[in-house]
Amino acid sequence: MNVAVNPAALTTPALERMARVADEVAARYAADVDATGRFPEETFAALKRERLLGCWIPKEYGGEGLSLTEICGLVARLGQACGSSAMIYGMHQIKMSSLIQHSVGSPWHLDYMREAARDQLLLGSATTEGGIGGDLRNSICAVEVVGDRYRLTKQATCISYGRAADAILATCRRNPDAASSDQVMVVCRKGDYTLRETVDWDTMGMRGTRSEGFELVSEGDARQVFVQPFSEIAAQSMLAMAHIIWTATWYGIAADTVVKAQAFVKAEAKKKPGTVPPGALRLAEVSASLQQMKSLLVAGIARYEEALADESLMNTLSFIAELNTIKVSASQLGIAIAQQSLMILGLAGYRNAGPWTIARNYRDLLSAAIMINNDRILGNTSNLLLISKIDVSVA
């Protein structure tokens, strides 16, 4: 997609530009995106116009070099308007983090990062595989490098916005003889691949992510394979980034229900001056839950930034256990918050339309617990806790 850049984009802070996209575009199309289960193209055209797809990239490569906190703020802000758009934007940023952190020593990837900033490229992900499911650290498919070309075929059972993406970062085994956990990641560029749809996407929520299943067949320049093994990419950035940025997405979607609940209570208070509306107590309660969710997000970001500065922390089991726990807790809190808001909004919130509806938020938040199933994550954490001590420190 070729979009003219908004000249104001470069002088306004990113969060202001995101507020513009969220309020003027994403909110307007969110209901239609949800009802028809389509990619939110207007929102992504606007994000490109506002140059918000490459803003995490360091300045020397053409981006704005934003911090993780700022990126999470952008994701959450978009989440208040359209959950699917925020999840897509978030997943794009998770892929971007791999490019930003693991391109060192690979001129091809450094050039591609420049290109991504210049052309505001949208990056997608293919980790999930038929026969493997959400077990990120194992692959059946393998990349074959012959001469200076790579070739890859993957039964990718879930690629969000696969058709809209400018590239799909796919995990696979290093070569056809490698063990299932000996993986690499390949930047499959649009033009390299064909996508044959194998599973459609007609779901309760997150309908606009269009996370269809495809057979991905890709061929291109062998240098597109990341030099660093995927085990390191996963351990040093991707797992933590996914849990933190997903949490930011769900936080935004949940926060929107609380904003609505507050407006509802306030309207009630104005209708009957001198009385405290019945929902007011529930509002205090749900605001506490939202604050809890925010604390999880803030703590996750702080932990990650600490680990960036101290690599030995990044590789510890306690770090992984902590980030796993944040994802599980945040995914449960999101849906609990929507339920609490629903108690305040009552039937007006339960309706599928109207000013107080939180139906879409609720359905979108239902995906949180299964986006890498919480039971899988808890299973993984339970293994770590056989040896890693429970963290009882304050700092």
Partner 1 sequence: MATQIRELIGNHKILPVSMERVRDEDDLYELGMTSFASVQLMLALEEAFDIEFPERMLNRKTFASISAIDRSVSELVSGRA
Which residues lie near ligand FAD (CB under 6 A)? 87, 91, 124-128, 133-135, 158-160, 206, 209, 211, 367, 370-373, 375-376, 379
φ, ψ dihedrals at 212, nearest 5°? -75, 160
Q: Which does 158 bind (CB under 5 to 8 A by kind): ligand FAD, partner 1, none?
A: ligand FAD
Q: What is the DSSP letter of 226?
A: -
Tell whether the torsion through CA atoms of 18, 98, 319 and 131 is positive or negative: positive
Question: Which residues lie closer than 8 Å to 394 by C-beta, 6 or more apart?
Answer: none
Q: Which does 187 bind (CB under 5 to 8 A by kind): ligand FAD, partner 1, none?
A: none
Q: Which does 388 bind (CB under 5 to 8 A by kind): partner 1, ligand FAD, none?
A: partner 1
Best CA proximity match to 215, nearest among 164, 155, 173: 155
Smallest distance, Å, CB 137 to partner 1?
A: 7
Q: Which is nearer to ligand FAD, 49 or 92 (CB)?
A: 92
Binding of residue 41 to partner 1 (CB under 8 A): no
* Residue in the block written with tokens 């990062």: 113
Smallest distance, Å, CB 180 to partner 1?
A: 7
Q: Which residue is nearest to ligand FAD (CB)?
A: 133
State how far Cα 395 lies from the chain centre.
Answer: 27
- Beta-bridged to residue 67, according to DSSP, are none
Q: Which is nearer to ligand FAD, 98 or 128 (CB)?
A: 128
Best CA proximity match to 233, nearest among 171, 290, 189: 171
Within residues 255-314, the interface with partner 1 by CB under 8 A covers 312
What is d(CA 7, CA 274) in angstroms, rounded to the nearest whole number? 50
Smallest distance, Å, CB 87 to ligand FAD?
A: 6
Q: Which does 249 bind (CB under 5 to 8 A by kind): partner 1, ligand FAD, none?
A: none
Binding of residue 137 to partner 1 (CB under 8 A): yes
Smallest distance, Å, CB 93 to ligand FAD?
A: 13
Q: Which does 349 bind (CB under 5 to 8 A by kind): ligand FAD, partner 1, none?
A: none
Q: Which is nearer to ligand FAD, 167 or 345 (CB)?
A: 167
What is d(CA 285, CA 307) in angstroms, rounded to the nearest whole number? 33
Residue choice 175, 181, 291, 295 for contact with partner 1 (CB under 8 A): 181
Binding of residue 12 to partner 1 (CB under 8 A): no
Residues in the chain: 395
- Beta-bridged to residue 152, according to DSSP, are 218
Is 369 in contact with 331 (CB distance < 8 Å)?
yes
Q: Which is nearer to partner 1, 67 or 181 (CB)?
A: 181
Residue choice 42, 182, 215, 268 for contact with partner 1 (CB under 8 A): 182
- Please give the C-alpha separations between residue 38 and each of 42, 201, 202, 206, 387, in angstroms, as whole numbers: 11, 10, 10, 10, 46
Binding of residue 388 to partner 1 (CB under 8 A): yes
Is 80 in contact with 255 (CB distance < 8 Å)?
yes
State how far Cα 302 lies from the chain centre.
Answer: 18
Smallest distance, Å, CB 327 to partner 1?
A: 16
Binding of residue 180 to partner 1 (CB under 8 A): yes
Binding of residue 316 to partner 1 (CB under 8 A): yes
What is d(CA 349, CA 150) in angstroms, rounded to the nearest whole number? 51
Is 199 in contact with 208 (CB distance < 8 Å)?
no
Q: Which residues bind partner 1 (CB under 8 A)?
A: 137, 178-182, 229, 231, 235, 312, 315-318, 380, 383-384, 386-389
